[in-house]
Amino acid sequence: MRPLSLLKNIGRSPLALLLPVLLAAGATGVFAQDAVPASYEEAISGAEGARFVVDNLWILIAAALVFIMHLGFSTVETGLTQSKNTVNILFKNVFIVCMGAFTYALWGFNAMYPGEFNGIFALGSPIPDSFAEADIVANMTSQYAAYTYWADFIFQAMFAATAATIVSGAVAERVKLPGFMVYATLLVMFIYPITGSWEWGGGWLNGGLDSLFGNGDGSAEFIDFAGSSLVHAFGGWAALAAVIILGPRTGKYLSGGRVRPILGHSMPLTTIGVFMLFLGWFGFNGGSVLSADPQAVSLVFVTTAMAGFCGGLTAAFTSWAVLKKPDLSMALNGILAGLVGITAGADTTGVWGSCAVGAIAGAIVVFSVIFFDKIKIDDPVGAISVHGVCGIWGTVAVGIFGGGVFLTQLVGTLAVSAFAFTASFALFYLVKVTMGVRVSKEEESGGLDLGEHGQEAYPDFQTSTPQM
């Protein structure tokens, strides 16, 4: 449609009545703390109410986009693994998002956003207390100026399950299902909210490093806009701990330091998954603006997109130079690496800065994947490199390209990563000694679909070569 025609149509539509109201509303914060509406009807009326409705709607749309990312994770992990483990991969992803959202409501949300606490460990509130204060008017303060308590919860809940999903890909094709289910539940319910509360919940990272590395005036605060560390590095380093305990897939590493490639069964599925994740990232980062502010959301969309594109480019050409062939899986992981990298500073890093952050992440991920293979850390999907290594890079990059302080960013991301690794190692080891975490060699050889589920994803599918 031509722009002039579009304007004429808008002029005839109900949107024309809303536009002046939206333009009259402030860009940030709809209701002042001393002007809380007396009723819900008052809250959604007038200029402030119109802005509130639009802001809240954007948060809910963003939550839906982040939810779609779980489909992306499912297909990426499925495509990069063998067909005989497809049902198992999909089952784990279904379980993670369902249990993750439920346990976040049960405990994690209030533990991650506790209000007053000691800054390190916070306790959640079990149902029904978790939502006892969810009065829509009472929460329209400076904290919930742009969206409701419910919108805040569902948006954050979609983030929560991501950490365990990252681990799921790294331990694929040899992890015992019941043990993983217990591990994933405890990781999302109790461990993820701890580091989340350190920054987003007002804990020690939120201003604590400013007094240590700055003047205490906010100029040296730790910055992690949408979770390069608090979500991605957390999941990546938790995954590394689990992989170390679990060990590599049978036959992956041969004598003499040779690496035997175990190819995924569907690059189309992997590609679909990466583009689904890319789409979801617009909600992941764009929703983290926490309002529908036109300029802020637009900037975040552009920085997010450019970092992903540049990450894909550098990973493609870097892998081509190193491996002598253009590698699709490396290019796809480069896109994800760029997206992870920009997540910490998508709101403060300019467009060209986001290109640099993404491009460097794309190169890093290639060398990181090769490095972990050399030291016999078997990660079928590259999750440790994409999320763990590039999560650290993205957080540190805010101190280079995004206006943060390098030392503050480094200490903050290392603290989150170290805690995630240590807590995950302890938890996974406890599950190992009590329930077991590794399937038998016979089950691994035959496939987890039949061994764990008694079900095949492709019952009529015939492979041209024998599978491991």
pLDDT at 131: 66
pLDDT tens digit string along 412-426?
999 999 999 999 999
User: How many Å apart are CA 125 and CA 303, to the nearest integer?
Assistant: 37
**pLDDT of 384 above 80:** yes
**pLDDT of 239 above 70:** yes
Q: Average pLDDT in the 370-393 region?
A: 97
**pLDDT of 35 above 80:** no
**pLDDT of 21 above 50:** no
Query: Which segment of 52-66, 103-117, 371-385 scores lowest on mean pLDDT?
Result: 103-117
Contact 265, 312 (CB under 8 A): no
pLDDT band at 400; cut points 50, 70, 90 = very high
pLDDT band at 177; cut points 50, 70, 90 = very high
Predicted TM-score (pTM) of the model is 0.90
pLDDT band at 458; cut points 50, 70, 90 = very high
Indicate the domain borders of the chain: 46-453
Q: What DSSP string describes 35-89?
A: ---SSHHHHTSHHHHHHHHHHHHHHHHHHHHHHHHHHHHHHHHHHTS-GGGHHHH
Residues near 12 by beta carbon (within 8 Å), at least 6 away in sequence: none
pLDDT tens digit string along 110-168?
899 887 888 898 887 665 555 655 555 545 544 556 788 888 899 999 999 888 899 99
Q: What are phi and psi of 413, to 5 degrees?
A: -70, -35
pLDDT band at 377; cut points 50, 70, 90 = very high
pLDDT band at 219; cut points 50, 70, 90 = confident
pLDDT at 463: 56
pLDDT at 22: 40
Q: 98-122 burial, b for 16+ CB within 10 Å, e for fewer?
A: ebbbbbbbbbbbbbbbbeeeebeeb
pLDDT band at 209; cut points 50, 70, 90 = confident
E strand or H helix at 179: helix 177-186
User: How many Å apart are CA 195 and CA 134, to the nearest integer?
Assistant: 24
pLDDT tens digit string along 242-260?
999 999 999 999 988 889 9
Q: Which of 333, 427, 347 is nearest to 385 (CA)?
A: 333
Contact 187, 238 (CB under 8 A): yes
**pLDDT of 225 above 80:** yes
Contact 396, 230 (CB under 8 A): no
Q: 352-382 burial, b for 16+ CB within 10 Å, e for fewer?
A: ebbbbbbbbbbbbbbebbeebbeeebbbbbb
pLDDT at 246: 98
pLDDT at 1: 37
Q: Average pLDDT in the 255-278 region?
A: 94
Tokens of 205: 């990272």
pLDDT at 129: 59
Given CATH 1.10.10.10, say whether it is the number of domain 46-453. no
pLDDT at 263: 94
